[in-house]
Amino acid sequence: MTDPTHETDELQLPFGFQFSGIHCGLKESANDLSVILCDAPSTAAGVYTQNLVRAASIDWNRNITPTPSIRALVINSGNANACTGDQGVRDNAEMAATVAKTIGCEPEQIATLSTGIIGHPLPMDRITSGIQTALAEAGSERQDFLNAVDGMMTTDRFRKTHSQSLTIGGSHGVITGMAKGAGMIGPNMATMLAVVMTDWYLPPKVADRVLKKAVDASFNCISVEGHTSTNDAVLLLSSSGGRPIHQTEQIQAFEAALTDSCIALARQIPSDGEGASHLIEIHVRGTQENREADRIARTVANSALVKTAITGTDPNWGRIISAAGYAGVDFNIETTSLQLNGHGLFEAGQPIPFDATVVSDALSSSFTSLIELQVGSGPGQATHWTSDLTVDYVRLNSEYTT
C-alpha cells in the first residue's frame, strides 16, 4: 500500500510574501504560531465555516474580506479560540492589533486564523510575545514557508502543501498553498485551514468569485467523519505586485489552475484522516444534475458502514448501493452500476460474478480506494474524497483532550 503523497519537495514560492513559524508555548514543543506577510497591501478573499458556532477569527475575517489591502495573516494552533465569548473576540482583535502595530498598518489589514481545542482562552502573553518573534524571523526561503506550515498543524501526520506554475497571456506566475486538517472534517469544510498564495494579481471581487468556485469543487467535497467545525477557513492571498489578470479567458485559466491546487490540497486532508488506512475517492455519474450526484457522493462518503468495509478491504457492494439509495435522489436501480478499484461488482441493477479475494487484494494493495457509481445516463456528476474508519480514529479522538 502506498503512503499518502504530498508535494513538499516541489515547492515554488510566489514572490511578494514572507513566512515564519515558531513555537510560542501553546503546544508542548511543535511550532504553534505562524505569520504570512505581504510585501505590500494585497488582495485577500475567504470562504468560511457554515457552522453557526464560530471561532472569533471567522467573524473577524468575514468582516474584512474580500479586501484589496491585506498586509498579513497570523495563525495559531493548539487553541481554537471558539466558544470563548467576548474575551475570545478581544483576544482575536489583540492578535491582529499586535501584528498591525509591529508592521505599521491598521488591524483591519490583518487576517487571523486559529485551530485547536474549543473553549479554552488564548494565553495572550505567549501569543503577543510569539508574534513579535515570528515577525522578526520572517523570510522568503523554502524553510521559512515550511516553518509556517508546521505552525498551523495539530493532529496532522504530515505537511500538506501544493505548488504549481502557470503561464497566462505569455506571463509566468505561481500558485502555492498550505493546509492542515486530519479530524473533525465534514461537508462545507471542517477543522481545516488552507491558505493559497499567488503572484498573479486579482481584484477582490474576482478573487472572491474564483475562490468560492474552487472551494466548492475541492474543500467542500471532503470528509472524515462529517463533523463541521467552528474554525474552517480557506484564504486566497493575491500579491498586489503581481501580474494583473483582467480578461475573461485569463480569469478562467487562473480559476482552473486554482481549482486544481485546491483539489490537490483537499485530497491530502482525508488522506491524513485520523487513523486512516485508505483514502476513498467516490465518483458518481449519470444523474440529471450535478447537485444530485453531489448528494449521492456525500451520502456514500459519510456512511460508517462503507468506511469500515474499506478498512477491512471487504468488497461489500451492498453497503455502497444502499447508501446511494437513501441519499434522497431519485434514480433507477436498473440503470445503476458499481466498480471498486476498477472491478465490476454490480451492473444494470444486478450483482455480477467477481472474485472477492482479488478485489480485496486490490483494496489492500492500494492506499486509494476508488468507488465508481453510475446511476443513469444523465450529465450530472460529482467527486468526493473521504477516509476510512479505523479503531485508531476512535482511540485518537477519545484521547485528544485527556
Backbone angles phi, psi at 162, to 5 degrees: -155, 145
Q: How far apart are CA 167 and CA 173, in angstroms?
A: 6
Q: Are 282 and 303 in contact (CB under 8 A)?
A: no
- Cell 465555516 belongs to residue: 49
pLDDT at 397: 64
Q: Measure CA 315 to chain center.
A: 29
351-387 pLDDT per residue, tens: 999 999 999 999 999 999 999 999 999 999 999 999 8
Q: Mean pLDDT, to the nearest integer, of 99-123?
A: 95
Looking at residue 187, its pLDDT comes to 45
Cα–Cα distance, 82 to 78 (Å, whole number): 12
Q: Integer distance in angstroms from the first to the last C-alpha of the chain?
A: 32
Instruction: Name the residue type at position 348.
Output: A
| 389 confidence band (pLDDT: 50, 70, 90) | confident
Cα gap 161→21, rounded to integer Å: 15
Closest by Cα among 270, 250, 269, 246 to 258: 250
Amino acid at residue number 6 = H
- Residue 10's SS3 state is helix
The pLDDT score that the predictor gives to residue 231 is: 82
> Do you know the residue count of the chain?
402
Q: Residue 185: what pLDDT? A: 47
Which backbone phi and psi does 399 adopt, to 5 degrees? Answer: -100, 0
Whether 19 has a pLDDT exceeding 60, the answer reads: yes
Phi-psi region of 82 (alpha: psi -120 to 50; beta: other; left: phi over 0): beta
Count of CB atoms situated within 10 Å of the CB of 103: 16
Q: Please check whether residue 159 is in contact with residue 153, taking contact to mean a CB–CB distance below 8 angstroms.
A: yes
Q: Is-contact 230 82, C-beta < 8 A?
A: yes
The percentage of residues in the chain with a pLDDT greater than 70, rounded to a whole number, is: 91
Residue 9 reports pLDDT greater than 90:
no
The Cβ-side half-sphere exposure at 116, using a 13 Å CA radius, reads 23
- Tens digit of pLDDT for each residue in 29-56? 899 999 999 999 999 999 998 778 889 9
Q: Could you give phi then psi for residue 401, rounded to 5 degrees?
A: -110, 5
Q: What is the dihedral of CA 252, 222, 149, 277, to 10 degrees?
A: -140
Distance separating alpha carbons of residues 58 and 65, to the nearest angstrom: 11
Which residue has better confidence, 398 or 4?
Answer: 398
In this prediction, residue 32 carries a pLDDT of: 96
**Spans of all domains in the chain:** 8-271, 279-398
Helix locations, 72-123, DSSP H: 85-103
In this predicted structure, what is the pLDDT of residue 159? 95
Superfamily of domain 8-271: L-amino peptidase D-ALA esterase/amidase (3.60.70.12)
Query: What is the 8-class DSSP label of residue 82?
Result: B
Tens of pLDDT, residues 117-143: 888 999 999 999 999 999 999 999 999
pLDDT of 141:
96
One DSSP character per residue, 144-160 reads HHHHHHHHT-SS-SS-E
- What is the distance between the alpha carbons of residues 178 and 315, in angstroms, rounded to a whole number? 35
The HSE-up count of residue 229 (CA atoms within 13 Å, CB side) is: 32
Per-residue pLDDT tens over the stretch 184-241: 544 444 468 999 999 999 999 999 999 999 999 999 998 765 556 678 899 999 998 8
Give pLDDT, residue 8. Answer: 54
The set of catalytic residues is 191
Quote the pLDDT of residue 183.
Answer: 59
Q: What are phi and psi of 41, to 5 degrees?
A: -50, 130
Name the percent of the chain lying above pLDDT 90: 78
pLDDT at 266 over 60: yes
Query: Confidence class of residue 76 from pLDDT cuts 50, 70 and 90?
Result: very high
Select the CATH number that applies to the domain covering 279-398 from these four: 1.10.4080.10, 3.30.70.100, 3.10.20.340, 3.90.650.10. Answer: 3.10.20.340
- The pLDDT value recorded for residue 191 is 60
Q: Lowest-pLDDT range, 77-81, 93-97, 275-279, 314-318?
A: 275-279
Answer whether residue 392 shows pLDDT above 90: no
Angle between helices 204-216 and 248-271 (to 10 degrees): 40
What is the value of pTM for the model shown?
0.90
Of 273, 20, 314, the C-alpha closest to 140 is: 20
Instruction: Give me the DSSP letters along 159-196.
Output: -EEEEEEEEETTEEEEEEEEEE-SSS--SS--S-EEEE
Reported confidence tier of residue 402, pLDDT bands at 50, 70, 90: very low
Q: For residue 188, give every residue at least 6 positions away whose Cβ sits within 8 Å of its Cβ, in sequence order, or none.
A: 49, 50, 220, 228, 232
Same fold, 8-271 and 279-398: no
Q: Which residue has the higher pLDDT, 338 or 156?
A: 338
Cβ 92 vs Cβ 80: under 8 Å: no
Q: Is the pLDDT of residue 83 over 70?
A: yes
> Which DSSP helix (H) or strand (E) runs through 116?
strand 110-117
